[in-house]
Amino acid sequence: MKHASARRATPLKLALVAAGLVLLVAAPFWLYPIFLMKLLCFALFAAAFNLLLGYTGLLSFGHAAFFGGAAYVTAHTVKVWGLPPELGILAGMAGAAVLGLLMGGLAIRRQGIYFAMITLALAQMFFFFCLQAPFTHGEDGIQAVPRGWLFGLIDLNQGLNMYYFVLAVFLIGMFAIHRIVHSPFGMILKSIRENENRAISLGYSVSSYKLAAFVMSATLAGLAGALKALVFQFATLTDVAWQMSGEVILMTLLGGIGTMLGPFVGAALVVTLQNYLATSAFPVTIITGLIFMICVLLFRRGLVGEFLHSRLGRRLSARMDDRAPNP
């Protein structure tokens, strides 16, 4: 007889998820919707990056290429070609997936710092392509991007409509990442992260799994970039610059790599600092750098990671990961 243990959602886990959804649904009534939409876009971007770094063990310095590339494709197809927003987003994701396949096919041939530097070099090449390509309009970028009507029925120019659309796409993206991580495919990615040589000895095609993870991460990062282009109604070189890659790394490390909630917490911290300290005389980058150094020294696993490894966090995780009895 085969014994199998299936995960079941505990009442505590369901209650926490429900509480989080209620907060997100109610948030635009007491916080600025544009700020919230920016937070959701960057949280999804960080979660997509975490899929590669936290669960596969690959550090990429070039994820801005997928984020900004999708933003350019979506902005161009919506403004110039007149596509509806849903098709524009799909076009941006497709562009990010193709770019991820090309960059990943070259980068995964190397490991460690060599992999990271190859992704940085390829992303910089893409940056200069965007600087020179006529459809990106160089340093001016693509401006006045119309949000349009979702499925021809919902006017996304209305603030609340746009927020709930972004929230819905964010939740779909996070659910996709959760399913990937907790699938047999995700377990193999974790085994590659922990001991690549052992995974090879077990007969897994490590390169194929790495490439698949890279393309998935790039596609989800493209989804975040496409949303960002519609939220702010422009796409610029800032979206593909190396600083954007550094920013998403910072968000993921602050929140905690290898956790589902960590990228959201890290993105919330960075975006909040940028938003509320933008008019301050003290440079935001210095404050962010100081917070990063403090977190590295005191919270080496990130804020969420350290909490999960604390006594309270372990108890909470144990209660949320209860298993159904074996049949």
Q: Which DSSP symbol is given to 326?
A: P
Q: Is 314 helix (H, G, I), strand (E, B) or coil?
A: helix
Cβ pair 166, 172 in contact under 8 A? no
Give the list of residues 6+ apart from residue 131 with CB closer than 8 angstroms, or none: 138, 139, 237
pLDDT of residue 326: 44
pLDDT of residue 298: 77
pLDDT of residue 181: 94
Give the list of residues 6+ apart from residue 117 with CB closer than 8 angstroms, or none: 61
pLDDT of residue 244: 93
Cα separation, 89 vs 83, in Å, equals 10
pLDDT of residue 321: 62
pLDDT of residue 110: 87
pTM: 0.90
Residue ranges of domains in the chain, CATH in brackets: 11-320 (1.10.3470)
pLDDT of residue 320: 64
Helices 85-107/112-132 angle, 10° precision: 130
Give the list of residues 6+ apart from residue 66 with CB closer than 8 angstroms, or none: 96, 99, 100, 217, 218, 219, 221, 222, 225
Structure-block tokens of residue 201? 């000895």
Cβ pair 120, 61 in contact under 8 A? yes
pLDDT of residue 65: 96
Cβ pair 260, 181 in contact under 8 A? yes
Which of 205, 245, 271 has the alpha carbon at shortest distance from 43?
271
pLDDT of residue 167: 96
pLDDT of residue 316: 67
Instruction: Find the radius of gyration of the CA atoms of the chain.
Output: 20
pLDDT of residue 319: 67
42 exposure class (CB count in 10 Å sphere: 0-12, 13-18, 19+): buried
Residue pLDDT tens, the chain, 327 long: 344 434 555 676 778 788 889 999 999 998 889 999 999 999 999 999 999 999 999 999 999 999 999 999 999 999 999 999 999 999 999 999 999 999 999 999 888 899 999 999 999 999 999 999 999 998 899 999 999 999 988 999 998 999 999 999 999 999 999 999 999 999 999 999 998 889 999 889 999 999 999 999 999 999 999 999 999 999 999 999 998 998 999 999 888 888 888 899 999 998 988 887 777 777 777 777 787 788 777 777 788 887 777 777 677 666 666 544 444
Cα separation, 317 vs 266, in Å, equals 20
pLDDT of residue 300: 75
State the CB neighbour count (10 A cutoff) for residue 149: 15
